[in-house]
Amino acid sequence: MFNCYFKSSKEKKRFYQHKKLEMLNYIKDSLERKIASVTASIEVLESQISRDKEVEVTN
């Protein structure tokens, strides 16, 4: 995976912790984008439903 020379086990541990943190932050960012997309879709659908109800009432 990573071909790095580590001076100590603490250095190796720190390196892998930072890599794990980078990966988790990437996953978090990806999920936040997906949540924003779903939230926007919900808002559009709710406004369409509301608009359709208003049309039914006036007809």
Place of tokens 């980078």: 22
Q: Note whether residue 3 is domain-resident.
A: no
The pLDDT of residue 2: 63
Task: Tell me the per-residue pLDDT of 14-36, one tens digit each, with 9 for 90 and over.
Answer: 999 999 999 999 999 999 999 99
pLDDT per position as a tens digit, 33-51: 999 999 999 999 999 999 9
User: What is the model's pLDDT at position 17?
Assistant: 98
- Whether 1 is in a domain gets the answer no
The residue with greater pLDDT, 36 or 6, is 36
Provide the pLDDT for residue 56.
80
Q: Which amino acid is at 1?
A: M
Q: Which domain holds residue 23?
A: 9-58
pLDDT of residue 4: 74
For residue 17, being part of any structural domain is answered with yes
